[in-house]
Amino acid sequence: MDDLSKIRKYLHQHPEISGKESETADYIAKQLKSIRNLKIHQGFSQHSILVEINGDAKGKTILFRCELDALPIQEENNFDYASSSQGISHKCGHDGHMTIMLGLAKVLAENTPKFGRFLILFQSAEETGKGAKAVLDSKFLDQFDIDYALALHNVPGYPLSSIICKEDVFTPSVESINIELTGRTSHAGEPDKGINPSNAIAEIITYFSALHQPDMDKSNYFVVAPIHIKMGEAAYGTSAGKGQIGYTIRSTDFDYFSTQKKKIENSIEQIASQHTLDYKINWLESFSANINNKGVVDTIQSSCKKMDLKYIEKETPFDWGEDFGLITQHYDGAMFGIGSGEETFNLHDNRYDFPDEIITTAVDLFTELAKQLSK
């Protein structure tokens, strides 16, 4: 535990943002090279690393995944292992998740279950929603015939080391949209001679407000959050000719989410056309809904009972996005939460810090799941 805590604090002190995790990957690879009986794969997707550990007999292939990246947030903490990178810090706990997987790699390599093959993915660029897609697009995982995929996320607000899980949707589909509107500038004294996007922006705001339905108990749950808006420049003699507006949307129903996206695109086209504006839509930071397989969830629950861990069955999905969802669209599997304390600061809070106390609990649970699922 002391060694794992030191590793976690080193990772916390040296964070890197999505897609830029070269030094983090080098450090992880160095730690892995000190462990015998495992094979390390690199260079297949961004800075991602895949560890391969094989049992003596044929069994199921299990993929475990964690994340390499930190967030563009300035840390407020002043402890001795605080972030040394200006404006970047591990405020989602990925430093802890990586440490857990290093611990798991050591346990599985030194005490490999008889049956099965075990893959541990240290994945680049989770926070932007690009990492899982890049790994899958590389086709590198196809050679392993993966049976199950597992991941966790620490969750503030829950008892320390409790396990939080549910069948079906665990986290929603989340995607952001950026809308650019282009008209024509004119003199502010003659606005009718130009094409100003202000009325179109007002209609778009009204339209998105009508889509917002935050009640997760209803089938049409659809959260719409306005993110940014810009129009023209601070040039008071000129009527604006350009505008831009962005939203983040989420839904627990993937099909409904896809249908709504098409409706949104059609509505934006109509609004822009009515106001004689050119438009451009960019969908950004896509996170697919995380679908938990019933059989895997049952195994998580029974393993918690065997290990005397507090298991909390969540009634509704969490409302944050997670790009492991794209992996569960390809493989049977599950993500579960591990409580990081009821008084812990929220994720993405600049005062947050991952609790080292839950590392060994997570390693032990993943080890048990490896044994149960690989037979």
Q: What is the pLDDT of residues 228-276, one digit of tens each?
A: 999 999 999 999 999 999 999 999 998 899 999 999 999 999 999 999 9
User: Alpha-carbon dihedral of residues 352, 355, 356, 358, nearest 10 degrees?
Assistant: -140
Q: State yes or no: pLDDT of 65 exceeds 80.
A: yes
Per cent of the chain over pLDDT 70 is 100
- pLDDT at residue number 2: 81
Number of other CB atoms surrounding residue 338 within 10 Å: 26
**By C-alpha distance, which of 340, 106, 22 is closest to 14?**
22
**CA atoms in the 13 A half-sphere facing the CB of 290:** 30
Q: State yes or no: pLDDT of 35 exceeds 80.
A: yes
**By C-alpha distance, which of 287, 294, 295, 296 is closest to 325?**
287
- pLDDT band with cut points at 50, 70 and 90 for residue 176: very high
For the chain, residues classed under CATH 3.30.70.360 are: 173-286
Pick the CATH number of 173-286 from 3.30.70.360, 3.40.1380.20, 3.30.390.10, 3.20.20.10: 3.30.70.360
- The CATH number assigned to the domain with range 2-171+289-373 reads 3.40.630.10
8 A C-beta contact, residue 23 and residue 14: yes
Tell me what the mean pLDDT of segment 89-100 comes to. 98
**Distance between CA atoms of 279 and 270, rounded to whole angstroms?**
10
Strand pairing of 311-313 and 173-182? unpaired
**Distance between CA atoms of 375 and 298, rounded to whole angstroms?**
15
- pLDDT at residue number 254: 85
- pLDDT at residue number 258: 93
This prediction's pTM: 0.92
Each residue's pLDDT tens digit, 4-34: 999 999 999 999 999 999 999 999 999 999 9
- pLDDT at residue number 1: 72
- pLDDT at residue number 219: 86
Strand pairing of 49-54 and 115-123? antiparallel
**Distance between CA atoms of 286 and 250, rounded to whole angstroms?**
10
Among the ranges given (1-10, 26-35, 159-168, 184-193), the one the predictor scored with the smallest mean pLDDT: 1-10
Q: State yes or no: pLDDT of 345 exceeds 80.
A: yes
Q: Which two tokens stand for residue 37?
A: 């009986």
For the chain, residues classed under CATH 3.40.630.10 are: 2-171+289-373
The gap between the terminal CA atoms of the chain, to the nearest Å, is: 29
Three-state DSSP state, 18: coil
Each residue's pLDDT tens digit, 306-325: 999 999 999 999 999 999 99
**Distance between CA atoms of 292 and 340, rounded to whole angstroms?**
21
Per cent of the chain over pLDDT 90 is 98
- pLDDT at residue number 326: 96
Number of other CB atoms surrounding residue 291 within 10 Å: 18
